[in-house]
Amino acid sequence: MDKLTLKLFEFYNLDAEINGLSNPQTGEKVSEGLLQAKLPLTVKYWLTELSKKVRSEKQTIEDLKNELIRKYGKEDDKGGISIPVVVDELGADGQPVKVVAEDGTETVKKVLNPDYQAFDKEFGELLNTEKELEYKPFDLADFKSLETTDNFVTFFKLIKVEETKVVSMK
């Protein structure tokens, strides 16, 4: 087994590269992922084992993210908690500040939500935290028959590439 240090955001990337990615709003598949490719059974086995580790780490990150949302977010009338990126700017009287556009329409002035900024800062720090991943290294030859238009940037870090020897002729 090899070890590699990744930043926590790379666990999200690696999960998508292995398992594929769907649009959360539509459910539409954006990418298939390596596990859907035709690969040797032993490669699929080690990809599946890697996927379990990555998914576990991703779930831990999601749990911490949800804690931050509860910490910085506001509950709506339906019990949902969210953190809007922008909020109404309030004047000294506590009322929303209104601005008049060139066409005479009046709108409420918006500002960046300080709670969102605090959430974003804390979550960003978490995502940049490093974590060691233990995995079975993959050989580039294991994927020689794979045809794809996807780019597996994080997964490429887990592939062992045989160094070619340069022979000089004199």
Tell me whether residue 138 is in a domain. yes
Give the CA count within 13 Å in the CB-facing half-sphere of 150: 22
- pLDDT score of 100: 86
Q: CB 170: neighbour CB atoms within 10 A?
A: 2
What is the domain extent for residue 118? 2-160
Tell me whether residue 43 is in a domain. yes
Strands 138-139 and 21-22: what pairing?
A: unpaired
| Res 163 pLDDT > 70 | no
| Res 167 pLDDT > 80 | no
Tell me whether residue 167 is in a domain. no
pLDDT digits (tens, 9 = 90+) for 13-45: 999 999 998 888 888 888 889 999 899 999 999
Tell me whether residue 119 is in a domain. yes
Tell me whether residue 149 is in a domain. yes
| Domains identified in the chain, total number | 1
Tell me whether residue 25 is in a domain. yes
Q: CB 119: neighbour CB atoms within 10 A?
A: 19
Average per-residue pLDDT for the chain: 90
